[in-house]
Amino acid sequence: MPLRQDKGAPTSPAVETPLRGVRSNIVQSIRAFRVPELQDAAQTLGQHFLYANLANAQTKQEVLDLIGQQFMLSAHVGKNFDALYDGITDPLHKSGLQPGFIVVLEHIPAHARFDKEAREQLLDIFRDASDFWGDRKIPFRCFYSFL
């Protein structure tokens, strides 16, 4: 007796993987993404979503303070870029297995009080953090925009 095949059974649509085509450890301009989409992607992937709106910051100190507050990091993070790096790497790593991170730095100031060098230093901190997490096989994607 031949085996019967069900031909009319509907197939479920393919589930699209959020951020497909975006490397798992990268710092890049937010460009085509919107913040709610990135937040949804983090939720779908079961990853941490860290968001900082820096529109009201004028100086390096204000940028650091806002990131520390909005990421809910310890108070020492607002001291300097090294402290920020430390706050988003080692203590989190030591606290246990991490599922991954989607980070958004929205409206990074782009003016004389927070000049190109300061912006590059800030982004370098997140590039270094991306490398730190990448070495541990943990996804860390950071998206940014300038004001």
How confident is the model at residue 118, as a pLDDT? Answer: 95
Domains with residue ranges and CATH for the chain: 40-146 (3.30.370.10)
Model pTM score: 0.85
Give the model's pLDDT for residue 2: 41
Q: Which residue has the tokens 């919107």?
A: 34
136 Cβ neighbours under 8 A, 6+ residues apart = 93
- Average pLDDT across each block of 10 residues of the chain; the chain has 147 residues. List them in order: 40 58 94 94 96 96 94 81 93 89 97 94 98 97 96
